[in-house]
Structure 1
Amino acid sequence: MLILGADDVRRVLDGAEQEVLAAVRQAYRLHAQGRTVLPHSVFLRFPDQPRDRIIGLPGYLGDDTPVAGIKWISSFPGNLEKGLERASAAVILNSTDTGMPEAVLEGSVISARRTAAGAAAAAAALVPATADTGVSLIGCGVINFEVLRFLLAALPELSSVTVFDLDGARAAAFAARCADRWPTLKVTVAGTADEALAAHPLVCLATTAAAPHLTTDACRPGTLLLHLSLRDLTPESVLSAVNVVDDPDHVCREATSLHLAEQAVGHREFITTTIGDLLSAEAPARRDEDRVTVVSPFGLGVLDLAVADLTRRRAQALGLGTRVPGFLPG
């Protein structure tokens, strides 16, 4: 059994943004081609802890070298008050020949970067009339920091970022971290969510919201809104937008904004296309210049498997990780 801890994973993935983007794009294309097996994620929730959950995401990715496994990821927002990370995770990779587990990887870094890479890939596949030079990030946590990392890799014209968080001190610290990591970026802290929504025609939502609390009224026409946290937008805002998802069956469940929109109208006709179909097209699609486009990726487990497999292969080439003999019987 190969064990790769957080330091191993970061060492492998730091500076490998283009490789991660390529792996995520390929996983989306394979899913669009029907070359994946993706059971619904399993949500473990706790009595009297409505914000906390642990999710199991099993999957199979049928590439030339197939990958199978599962990500087991928790989200406990209260950890932040304890000085801990909100999310923690493990990824198990299994042999597709014997079914035996072959590797266990720290999964929160993998999960954050595949989420960010998927958002950046979608943004690059939906071309605006004028190139994006700025982005607004609502929710100043790990995910949006990684989103900025991958947006800069996918959209090199970006030169400014506006950030907002309900916790003003958290927003200020996040802005300082961004400025320190990317000194040439112009970083601004918005006073309200609406101010951030209006600041740029590219917006990313990555909050811990459990129920809708935002509309798209403040967005500029033609805005591309990356709705990563899935529960921020009112159903009315979803229904008025051009909607792109990773998988309709996966995203229209668990009280996401799209699930609530489906319940309101009784159908899914408001969903226009999928990220996989966009990435499989011969040419990039054009954003609607008059309406807001909302990209809502539920987070497919095959993306985690693609990045975990990339991590394992690169780690093995570098001799990283810990081998645990005798982990399996026999």
Structure 2
Amino acid sequence: MFSFQVMGGKSVRAIIETSRPEIFAQVRETYLAHHRGATINPNSYFLRFPDRPDARIIALPAALPEEAPGDGDAAGAGGVAGIKWIGSFPGNLARNVPRASAVLLLNDLETGYPFACLEAAQISAARTAASAVLGAEQLHGSRRAAKLAVVGAGVISRNILEFFHALDWSFTETVVHDTVEEYAKKSAGHAGALGFRARTSTGLDDAVDGADLVVLATTAGAPYILDPGALAAGQSVLNISLRDIGPELIAASHNVLDDVEHCLNAGTSPHLAVQKFGHRDFIDGTVAQLVLGELRLGRDRPRIFSPFGLGVLDLAVGREILRIGREHGRVQDVPDFFAEVERW
């Protein structure tokens, strides 16, 4: 009851590398649990800094009251609560340091006591990538595409490429665009190492034009894809960075979100569109509705998936990684973490 464990990033990453299909399944099932009201996922909280408006640290509290299969008698069995505390500092890129850093704290639902702390930048990237690939599967309709466009050559798009590979996607061509040519070359090289035929683009238009599937994974703070013809009818767009697409384009497209109320917040592209046009008629529904067959999209307009990112996904993936980590001896016990375990 009073045990406390820590799991570092290298161990978390090692487990992710061998468990991507299982993580994908966890994300899919958690979306369905969220859809049927079996999760607790309040709004995220943003800590901002007046002298650095592009930087923020976000708290994502959540709970999964349902017992996960295979929990057994482990701490957190019968459900888990927790919080991801994730910093996003775009200025880190100039130092060749990842933009995001994070920890995930897991709490026992019966006592409220925390029982584990995991390095969570890897978890956050993995659940984001799994969510993106689920969205791609639902929007595109298969795991085969002629052209994949990757816009933004960072940690998130790298993870998305790795999940595409682990889930046996195939592309005739993968084109990578980034405003920093060196990053684009490294991303294309990584895609090539995964077995994808990849190249860098000559520009944004070169990457996106004719692409069946577009991944937007940048650090953009404001929309820059504004041309009404920038996205084609029937094109599937993963709006992972959330703020790349102008409101007019959003309103002219089919839009699928992970959670409607969560996504209409914090200046996301769908949020800006609702603010500009005063309605949300252009929002078709959620990815869970697509999975369940409750929602069908035409190919008369671009199809855009905008996942705001739910804390329950971090909990589900973190709990699964902790379970596997325990089995493989990759978790460190912290003896006497709690100073008092009796009231008297």
**TM-score interval, normalised by the smaller of the two chains:** over 0.9
- Tell me whether 1:301 sits opposite 2:311 in the alignment: yes
From the superposition, tell whether residues 82 and 130 of structure 1 become closer, same or farther in structure 2 (CA, over 3 Å): closer
1:113 to 108, 126, 129: 126
Partner residue, 1:16:
19
Per the normalisation by structure 2, the TM-score is 0.91
User: Aligned with 1:140: secondary structure?
Assistant: coil
Q: Bigger shift: 147-156 or 226-235?
A: 147-156
What letter is aligned with 1:169?
E
From the superposition, tell whether residues 128 and 172 of structure 1 become closer, same or farther in structure 2 (CA, over 3 Å): same
Partner residue, 1:77:
90
- Tell me whether 1:252 sits opposite 2:255 in the alignment: no
1:58 to 58, 61, 66: 61
What letter is aligned with 1:134?
K
Give the deviation of 1:153 after TM superposition.
3.3
Q: Is the contact made by 1:127 and 1:287 (CA closer than 8 Å) also made in structure 2?
A: no
- Tell me whether 1:312 sits opposite 2:322 in the alignment: yes
In 1, distance between residues paired with 2:118 and 2:335?
16
Q: Trace 1:82-161 onto structure 2 (pairs within 5 A).
A: 82-128=95-141, 131-154=144-167, 156-161=169-174
Give the deviation of 1:194 after TM superposition.
1.7
Give the deviation of 1:148 after TM superposition.
1.1
What letter is aligned with 1:34?
G
User: Aligned with 1:158: secondary structure?
Assistant: strand
User: Aligned with 2:86: secondary structure?
Assistant: strand
Q: Is the contact made by 2:191 and 2:197 (CA closer than 8 Å) also made in structure 1?
A: no
Give the deviation of 1:109 after TM superposition.
0.3
In 1, distance between residues paired with 2:327 and 2:45?
33
Aligned residues between the structures = 326
2:212 to 198, 201, 215: 201
What letter is aligned with 1:309?
R
Partner residue, 1:7:
10
Partner residue, 2:251:
239
What letter is aligned with 1:258?
P
- Tell me whether 1:166 sits opposite 2:184 in the alignment: no
In 2, distance between residues paired with 1:80 and 1:13?
24
- Tell me whether 1:33 sits opposite 2:61 in the alignment: no
User: Aligned with 2:6: secondary structure?
Assistant: strand
Give the deviation of 1:328 after TM superposition.
1.5
What letter is aligned with 2:330?
L
Residues 245-304 of structure 1 show CA distances to partners (whole Å, capped at 9, x for unaligned) of: 01111000111111110111212221101012222338xx66532210010000001001
Structure 1: tracts of 5 or more residues without a match: none
In 1, distance between residues paired with 2:123 and 2:288?
20
- Tell me whether 1:218 sits opposite 2:221 in the alignment: no
What letter is aligned with 2:183?
R
Q: Is the contact made by 2:260 and 2:285 (CA closer than 8 Å) also made in structure 1?
A: no
User: Aligned with 1:174: secondary structure?
Assistant: helix
What letter is aligned with 1:39?
P
User: Aligned with 1:305: secondary structure?
Assistant: helix
In 1, distance between residues paired with 2:315 and 2:8?
16
Give the deviation of 1:156 after TM superposition.
2.3
In 1, distance between residues paired with 2:293 and 2:327?
33
In 2, distance between residues paired with 1:25 and 1:137?
23
What letter is aligned with 1:212?
P
Q: Is the contact made by 1:45 and 1:52 (CA closer than 8 Å) also made in structure 2?
A: yes
Per the normalisation by structure 1, the TM-score is 0.94
RMSD: 1.7
Structure 2: tracts of 5 or more residues without a match: 68-77
